[in-house]
Amino acid sequence: MRGRTPFKLAIGTAALALIAAGCSSTPTETPTESNFILKSNLGEPQHMLPTATSESEGSQVLAALFDPLIDYDANNKPVESAAESVTTTDNKLWTIKLHAGRTFHNGEAVTSDSYIDSWTYGAYGPNGQDNNYFFEKFDGYGDMQQGADPDNDGPLKAADPKSKTLTGLKKVDDATFTVTLTAPFADFKMMLGYTAFYPLPKAAFSAPGVIADGFEDAPIGNGAFKMKGKWEHDSKIEVERWADFKGTKPKIAGVEFKIYTQLDAAYADLLEGNLDVLDTIPTTQLANVSSDLGDRFLQTPTSTFQYLAFPVKNPKYAKPEIRRAISMALDRDEMITKVFKNTQKSADAFVSPVVNGYRPGACGATCKFDATAAKKLYTDNGGAAEISITYNADGGHKEWVDAACNQLSANLGIKCVGIGEPKFADVLNKLKSGADIGFFRLGWVMDYPSMENYLGPLYSTNGSSNYYGYSNPAFDKLVQEGNAAKTAEEAISKYQAAEDILVKDVPVLPMRFGQNNYGHSEKVKNVKFDLFSRIDLVGIEPV
């Protein structure tokens, strides 16, 4: 998810180690506790509710507040955390058993209902949750969506689903519940580590199915940290160590997430000792970061996929040929060298190299620089004389977007301008409202380590982060067939065939695979970011 960056930059294989932001379910020896409060940067979240949070800023905070059912080991395999067990015999009916005696931060017991209530809220279409898509595989999901006709007498009523109940969820007892899927899905256990599947206490609801006013400003979770005060919008979010957490205890007393609109300001604070961790080094500082920070400048693998997306129904970008021409007019390698100082890699596929099924060069000629062919293709298909690229200014994207526009202007003979929105949330809100913002920058950090997690959310017709209106029934069918496959090899074959359709349709332009490029102060050690681009708040230590 960065989007998510759309999302929350790696080169390697799916066997790369994850440093989990969540915590082990097995109690361990309590470390020497300190009173140290970590100061880390953050962009303004769009949401702070599990079923609504599909971007990286809110996800980072929620990862501190919640213990996921499933975490991941060093080989990206799912391991139980808040769950005692997750079992199935047919990949369609799953049984989830919880650890007994676990509670939320307010003392309320974590039970089967905590998950059933949260997931049902997320799945109910009229609630408009950004993570609604992730419940699509559950039995009964379709009847909960807007546009259902409860009386079968038409016409469709947009706010009148057939049901408010997710029939695929059944309570067995307070510590056990089952999930029935519409079709077998071998990666379901893998999914359960994602933000959408966190539980909610009864205190989250003012009435059944109604989130209490103010809950998002002070979420109550079941993780290693609890909220300290309320979310101070555009300023900070504070969390503190929760003494009753049953998993691995953090070594720090809490975290102050300082909200910045400019990464350069955060970088200056890091150098001045006013910030302890900076998750992304600004592109403007890459040339001097090694001399500024020395061995406190670090790089680790991540799953981030940066791309430029087209509003495919906009006449300017409706033709795949136009989109392909724009892609071929971009010299990705030049941007990697000049803007990113070789700290990232040009993208050559629609999924990250960290997942099984990635194929080097899968994007083919579409992602290769060829200015002459690009201009001819663009001109022959009536390409527009002026275009724009919208990006979020709080993510350090201005330099490379400007470089992209300069290349497009020179190579296509057009006018291109970059338009910076102050916050990532502003971009998402405009996209959700249908505003015309040209084509735009987005990024994705995987929710769980699977090729499907890139294809489904980003490109399927009802994908949770398909902000560009792309739809191809043949693509959707292949993804669904991959989901229902009995073996990983069969699933990957279907997913790769679906990716081949993307190469022809070009709904987005793959731009970069990268890595976590981050820095820290002299006050902390053991600073690590995982494949989800989240800081390991349990492992970090004060010096």
- Token pair of 36 as six digits: 């140290």
Range of the domain at 508: 304-513
Which residues, other chains included, contact 186 with Cβ-Cβ below 8 Å and sequence gap of 6+?
Answer: 91, 485, 486, 487, 488, 491
Give per-residue pLDDT as tens, 264-306.
999 999 999 999 999 999 999 999 999 999 999 999 989 999 9
318 pLDDT tier (thresholds 50, 70, 90): very high
Give per-residue pLDDT as tens, 157-207.
556 899 999 999 999 999 999 999 999 998 899 999 999 999 999 999 999
Q: What is the pLDDT of residue 214?
A: 97
417 has a pLDDT exceeding 80: yes
Tell whether 78 is covered by a domain. Answer: no
Average pLDDT over residues 420-436: 88
Tell whether 140 is covered by a domain. Answer: no
- Paired with 410 in beta bridges are none
- Reference 314, options 436, 396, 218; nearest CA is 436
User: Number of structural domains, the chain?
Assistant: 1
Tell whether 422 is covered by a domain. Answer: yes
Give per-residue pLDDT as tens, 348-369.
999 999 999 999 999 999 999 9
The winner for highest mean pLDDT among 27-31, 34-38, 431-435 is 34-38
48 pLDDT tier (thresholds 50, 70, 90): very high
Give per-residue pLDDT as tens, 193-243.
999 999 999 999 999 999 999 999 999 999 999 999 999 999 999 999 999
332 has a pLDDT exceeding 60: yes
Give per-residue pLDDT as tens, 452-462.
999 999 999 98
Please give the share of the chain, as a percent, with pLDDT higher than 70: 92
156 has a pLDDT exceeding 70: no
3-state secondary structure 145-202: CCCCCCCCCCCCCCCCCCCCCCCCEEEEECCEEEEEECCCCCCHHHHCCCHHHCCCCH
31 has a pLDDT exceeding 80: no
Tell whether 441 is covered by a domain. Answer: yes
Q: What is the pLDDT of residue 77?
A: 86
- Token pair of 404 as six digits: 């992209």
CA distance 207 to 202: 9
CA distance 330 to 345: 14
- Token pair of 390 as six digits: 């919208």
CA distance 65 to 72: 18
Q: What is the pLDDT of residue 151?
A: 46
Average pLDDT over residues 481-488: 89
CATH number of the domain residue 309 falls in: 3.10.105.10
Distances (CA, A) of 357 to 72, 350, 362, 410, 450: 19, 11, 10, 36, 9
Average pLDDT over residues 400-422: 97
311 has a pLDDT exceeding 70: yes
Q: What is the pLDDT of residue 158?
A: 58
Q: What is the phi/psi pair of residue 429, to 5°? A: -65, -40
Looking at residue 71, the DSSP 8-state letter turns out to be E
Tell whether 159 is covered by a domain. Answer: no
Rg (CA), the chain: 23
Tell whether 333 is covered by a domain. Answer: yes
CA distance 398 to 390: 10
155 has a pLDDT exceeding 80: no
Ranking 108-117, 144-153, 413-422, 426-435 by mean pLDDT, the lowest is 144-153
Threshold 0.85, pTM exceeds: no
260 has a pLDDT exceeding 90: yes
14 pLDDT tier (thresholds 50, 70, 90): very low
Burial of 402 (0-12, 13-18, 19+ CB in 10 A): middle
Q: What b-and-e string marks burial along 436-467, b requiring 16 or more CB atoms within 10 Å of the CB?
A: ebbbbbbbbbbbbbbbbbbbbbbbbeebbbbb
Q: What is the pLDDT of residue 396?
A: 84
Tell whether 326 is covered by a domain. Answer: yes
Q: What is the pLDDT of residue 29?
A: 40
Ranking 128-137, 149-158, 166-175 by mean pLDDT, the lowest is 149-158
Tell whether 193 is covered by a domain. Answer: no
Contact between 408 and 308 under an 8 Å Cβ cutoff? The reply is no
The gap from C-alpha 396 to its chain's centroid, in whole angstroms, comes to 18
Average pLDDT over residues 89-112: 97
32 pLDDT tier (thresholds 50, 70, 90): low
Q: What is the pLDDT of residue 535?
A: 96
Q: What is the pLDDT of residue 416?
A: 97
